[in-house]
Amino acid sequence: MEATTESDLPEMVDVASDDPEVVLAAYAERGWGDGLPLVAPTEERVAAMLGDTANPDEVIATLPPRFGEATRRMIAVNAVLAGCRPAHLPVLVAAVRALDKPELNLRGVNATTHPVAPLLIVHGQAAVDGEYNAGIGAFGPGNRANAATGRALRLILLHIAGAVPGPGDVSTQGGPAKYSYCVAENVEESPWGSYATDAGIDAASAITIHCGEAPHNVHDMESSDPASVLDKVASAMVSWGSNNAPISQGEFFVALCPEHASLCADHGWSRADVASYLFNKATVRVGDARQAFNLLAWAPWQIALGDDDIVSMTEHPNNIKVFVVGGAGKHSSVIPSWGMTKSVTLAIGEDS
């Protein structure tokens, strides 16, 4: 078994048995793992996960706060530990590339007291090939691809990035999204096509990483017009307890269920129309914001507003990202960001 130590050097640990209890005990003794049973990353299993990878020791990213090197082999080790199949490895490689983007601010994400977790959204053919769930119960439980891939990404953050609770992850309360946070976009039932395409990615498969909170449910069983549904979404966005409240650059991911999305589209509303409506509806009085916070990380034009002016919960409509996920039933969700981070969407390339 192979893992990354405090010195960032790979360590080979021989364990006499691949019995789950023995493996779990060996990892727990070294402060590894997420507390759940692990699949022993034997040489045979890691080789099967890597397949015909030409350069398994290629460094894909260097991940803070430990600045451990995430090679393809190390990603594969953690994929095996989490219970992934080989079809999931390209998704994880692309996700690790996304974590390395400066705008995502992984060092801050991993080191904050906020319960932020990277949400991994799988788009396109990779979602089909990997059998990811985009429909009923997409956020879990019950689907191996979603659960194992999300868990593998967290194990990568624990073992390679060093985001261990305490020394590397000081989240005050932690959160269930820190175990596994992965869904597929429901492109088949999206009236607007793929989110990744609208984000400028021209590829058969892609991933998005959004570093945010767990989903906040929004339900509307009765409305027959988009405004009534989106008014409820906006009400979930307006919260003084959200990091987005004092930080103007914060993004909101709005995960619309197919029925809510279709209602909007049937009335001629585009994805951008939904974002614009929410931008204009999820607003607060400037004076109330100043009363709530001594420090507002706002854009200069927002700082210049008077107390009686009205301001949106985010600086620009482009910070409101809309995608479709889930199955039957009129429940959607709002996923606020940590604040000082930007989402990243990348193609899953041939080299992934």
DSSP character string of 262-317: HHHHHTT--HHHHHHHHHHHSEEEHHHHHHH-S--B--HHHHTS-TT-EEESSS-G
User: In terms of DSSP bridges, do strands 117-124 and 182-184 run parallel, antiparallel, or are they unpaired?
Assistant: parallel
d(CA 207, CA 191) in angstroms, rounded, equals 19
State the DSSP H helix or E strand holding residue 148, giving kind and residue range, or none if neither.
Answer: helix 144-156
State the DSSP H helix or E strand holding residue 12, giving kind and residue range, or none if neither.
Answer: strand 10-12
Of 217, 131, 234, 219, the closest CA to residue 182 belongs to: 131
Of 179, 36, 46, 64, the closest CA to residue 27 belongs to: 36
For 87-98, the pLDDT digits (tens) are 999 999 999 999
Beta-bridged to residue 81, according to DSSP, are none
Contact present, 60 and 72 (Cβ < 8 Å): yes
| pLDDT score recorded for residue 14 | 76
Share of the chain above pLDDT 70, in %: 96
Q: Give the mean pLDDT of the chain.
A: 94
Asked if residue 2 has pLDDT above 60, the reply is no
| pLDDT score recorded for residue 351 | 64
d(CA 116, CA 78) in angstroms, rounded, equals 21
Q: Mean of the pLDDT values across residues 263-290?
A: 98
d(CA 117, CA 294) in angstroms, rounded, equals 26
For 277-297, the pLDDT digits (tens) are 999 999 999 999 999 999 999
Asked if residue 332 has pLDDT above 80, the reply is yes
CA angle 88, 164, 8 (to 5 degrees): 75
The label of the residue with tokens 């100043």 reads 290
For 164-177, the pLDDT digits (tens) are 999 999 999 999 99
For 15-57, the pLDDT digits (tens) are 778 888 999 999 999 999 999 999 999 999 999 999 998 899 9
Q: Mean of the pLDDT values across residues 175-192?
A: 98
Of 220, 218, 215, 239, the closest CA to residue 314 belongs to: 239
Residue 6's pLDDT band, with cuts at 50, 70 and 90, is very low
